[in-house]
Amino acid sequence: MAKYIVKQSGPLKGEVHISGAKNAVLPLMAATLLSEEKCVIRDVPHLRDVALMKELLSSLGSKIEETEEHVLSINTEDIVSTEADFEIVNKMRASILVMGPLLARKGRARVPHPGGCAIGARPIDLHLKGFEALGAILTVGDDYVEAVAGGQGLVGDTIYLDFPSVGATENIMMAAVFAEGTTYIENAAEEPEIVDLANFMNKMGAKIKGAGTDTIKIEGVKSLGSANHTVIPDRIEAGTFMLAAAITRGNVHINNVLPDHLKPVIAKLRECGVRIEVGDEDMIVRGNLGPQYATDIKTLPYPGFPTDIQSPFMAYLTTVEGSSTVIETVFENRFMHVSQLGKMGAIIETAGNKASVKGNAKLRGCQVMATDLRAGAALVLAGLVAEGTTEISEIYHIERGYEYFIEKFAALGAEIERVED
Ligand code: UD1
């Protein structure tokens, strides 16, 4: 098994280019199942999750080509199967996103219960509630979920989500695209990735309005055509590099980032004393201009503080003056990095979904484990400032979601390498 070896590295300096967003590209790829024509997606990052989604789409009948670096051409003239492969779905929770498009285009979808990061129970009840409201008949087995459109086909309805789930909003948007009449998703997720998906689907000929607000309106259309689309930059990758600059007290110029997508992270880092200069599509993050202080964060659906930045931010908070409180409200089991940071010398106490983080920790390198994707990123950040050497195992989690991770950090002066055990 491969590992990352991270050495105490001093302030990171230089420029980093942010890749296309993992959480945007996966739903875009799933949405190509809705069209019989060729779709082109640009700025597709080389990630394990993207490779898994390619494999899944191919098994359903898509012809996929990387025509040039980071450009995928996907053509799904015929869907040859409406059943998602157990092995793939088990490795990647976002596989569930093929369910809406299969149901819309073929009137039937069968998908195993999804796997992915172990950050909570992560049910799919809201996805299913949406499909049912559109008229699908559900069969929920021990291992599989099946949705079949009734005799009338799917019919538009108003669906209220009990929680603004990102995946459910995307899946229902895709399922509803050919439904008779109009569908409204209320209390919809407002994440930028939802807007990117709606933009892509509208280029294909869908009639979706309101993406990015809490009510999305989808007018049913007869078919979708081709589209050519560039994925939005990865706001979570950008946030990770902002924190890399902050934790190492460095000075990093981040390119290909939309600062509007990172307002809470910018605000909280500024509160701590980090200087951030914001351009239209870039930012300069300076952690080297004086002392940094504690702050409190609480994760929320967008536009609140992103849960995916919670663990990297917590790693940073162990290094500032004073004590901080971190409250996680999106996932019920997202503090697994706490014990690993504790092994490195961090003093963090948790009670339920609340963590109290003591600053000025004397972090020291040791053997730790990436328990999920973002927890892994948090350990890399901690390793950059910990005395000695940090050995991080289970790094396949990190490689699910960060493109050229080692290379980008090394270019900023980080001493980090990937070794095969
Ligand atoms: C997406 C992101 C993930 C991010 C998360 C929240 C992708 C591929 N992944 O995941 O990186 O951390 O949004 O910003 O885009 N829930 C239910 N029932 C459902 C669906 C969700 O109870 O049917 C709950 C989940 O258990 C969780 C919360 O809602 O507690 C948020 O989940 P959701 O927004 O659906 O996240 P994902 O789409 O899985």
Pairing relationship of beta strands 2-7 and 415-420 according to DSSP bridges: antiparallel
pLDDT tens-digit readout, 338-377: 999 999 999 999 999 999 999 999 999 999 999 999 999 9
Active site includes 117? yes
The protein residue whose alpha carbon is closest to atom 21 in ligand 1 is 165
Give pLDDT tens digits for 133-170. 999 999 988 888 999 998 889 999 999 999 999 999 99
Query: Measuring from atom 33 of ligand 1, which residue has the nearest CA?
Result: 165
Asked if pLDDT for residue 120 goes beyond 70, the answer is: no
Collect all residues with Cβ–Cβ distance below 8 Å to 408 and sequence separation of at least 6.
16, 17, 241
Q: Check pLDDT > 80 for residue 297.
A: yes
Alpha-carbon gap, residue 146 to 127, rounded angstroms: 12
249 Cα–ligand 1 center, Å: 32
Instruction: Compute the distance from residue 166 Cα to the ligand 1 centre, in Å.
Output: 6
* Atom of ligand 1 minimally distant from the CA of 189: 34
Asked if residue 115 has pLDDT above 80, the reply is: no
CA distance 60 to 74: 12
Q: Which atom of ligand 1 is nearest to the CA of 373?
A: 11
**Which atom number of ligand 1 is nearest to the Cα of residue 165?**
34
CA 399 vs. chain centroid, Å, equals 13
Percent of the chain with pLDDT strictly greater than 70: 98
Tokens of 2: 């491969």
Query: What three-state secondary structure class fits 4?
Result: strand
Q: 15: pLDDT confidence band, cut at 50, 70 and 90?
A: very high
The CB-side HSE value for 74 (13 A sphere, CA atoms) comes to 34
- Could you list the beta-strand ranges (E) of 156-293: 158-160, 182-186, 207-209, 215-219, 227-230, 251-255, 275-278, 282-286
Is 123's pLDDT higher than 70?
A: yes
Distance 380 CA to ligand 1 centre (A): 24
Pocket test for ligand 1, best of 113, 166, 191, 240 (most atoms within 8 A of CB): 166
Task: Check whether 237 has a pLDDT greater than 70.
Answer: yes
Using CA atoms, how far apart are residues 274 and 254, in angstroms rounded to an integer? 14
Which of 97, 138, 163 is the pocket-test mutation for ligand 1 (most atoms within 8 Å of CB)? 163
At 281 the three-state DSSP class reads: coil
Question: Would you state the pLDDT for residue 113?
Answer: 79
Q: What is the mean pLDDT of the chain?
A: 95
Q: pLDDT digits over 31-69, tens only?
A: 999 999 999 999 999 999 999 999 999 999 999 999 999
CA distances from 15 to 9, 186, 232, 257 (A): 16, 40, 19, 12
Q: Which two tokens stand for residue 354?
A: 């609340």
Contact yes or no for 361/347 (Cβ under 8 A): yes
What mean pLDDT comes out for the span 236-243?
A: 98
Structure tokens at 39: 């779709």
Mean pLDDT of 215-241: 98
- Between helix 336-343 and helix 373-385 the angle, nearest 10°, is 20
Kindly write down the DSSP assignment for every residue of 19-75, as one continuous string: PBPHHHHHHHHHHGGGBSSEEEEES----HHHHHHHHHHHHHT-EEEEEETTEEEEE
Q: Is 197 in the pocket of ligand 1 (CB under 6 A)?
A: no
pTM for this structure? Answer: 0.97
What's the rounded mean pLDDT across residues 285-296? 96
User: Is residue 328 within 8 Å of 307, Cβ to Cβ?
Assistant: yes
Checking if the pLDDT of 117 tops 60, the result is no
Distance 103 CA to ligand 1 centre (A): 20
357 Cα: distance to centroid of ligand 1 (angstroms)? 25
Per residue in 169-204, pLDDT (tens digit) is 999 999 999 999 999 999 999 999 999 999 999 999
State whether the beta carbon of 225 lies less than 6 angstroms from ligand 1.
Answer: no
The whole-angstrom separation of Cα 87 and Cα 90 is: 5
Ligand 1 atom closest to Cα of residue 164: 34
Query: Is residue 123 within 6 Å of ligand 1 at its C-beta?
Result: yes
